[in-house]
Amino acid sequence: MTRLLLIGAPGAGKGTQAVKLAETFEIPAISTGDIFRHNVKNETELGKLAKSYMDRGEYVPDNVTNDLVRDRLGQDDAKLGFLLDGYPRTADQVEELDSMLADQNTALDAVVLLTADTDEVVRRLLNRAIEQGRADDTEDVIRRRLEVYEEQTAPLIDVYAQRNLVVTVDGLGAVDEVTARILEALSARGLNS
């Protein structure tokens, strides 16, 4: 019954670590970015709307994102725990998530903050652009995504720090090393898989 958030700048390695942590804790990894990309690929109405924001490096509007997450957290597999990757990213989303959890009489166990310096994340994102061809991995859009993260999402770290939920982990190094660091930090808080 572990409920985790994963926060970090674009390129910090959230997606990669989310999959590993979800396996270890046997909980679903829920990535709003992945859900949006899936919808873009299938050309759904949600996908068309999301794409118009994603292609510019802007956030999809809160009401759309909140509805999506509320729906996803209501599904059976998320009732016994989850790892949210890339949500919440705005103050409004934090409030909405609080209300979703209150409705289910549950609460978060920890917020994992994955850190990486800006040069490194830009390098990783440009590399990913070459390897995966993600439409939002061009240099201009990457710059905008980093800006939006600093403006809207970085301040949320304080909100969760005040609730004493934040576990900060260095995201630099080999994937398995970073996973081990996260597991150790969570274990130090009594959260074991």
Q: Which residues are catalytic?
A: 14, 89, 128, 134, 145
By CB under 6 A, tell whether 89 contacts ligand ADP: yes
Nearer to ligand ADP among residue 11 and residue 28 (C-beta): 11
Q: Which two tokens stand for residue 156?
A: 């949320």
By CB under 6 A, tell whether 40 contacts ligand ADP: no
Nearer to ligand ADP among residue 99 and residue 192 (C-beta): 99
By CB under 6 A, tell whether 39 contacts ligand ADP: no
Of 33, 51, 124, 167, the one binding ligand ADP by CB under 6 A: 33
| Selected range binding ligand ADP among 17-25, 74-82, 86-94, 180-188, rule: CB under 6 A | 86-94
Of 65, 72, 114, 156, the one binding ligand ADP by CB under 6 A: 65
**Contact residues for ligand ADP, defined by CB under 6 A:** 10-11, 32-33, 36, 53-54, 57-60, 65, 86-87, 89, 93, 136, 145
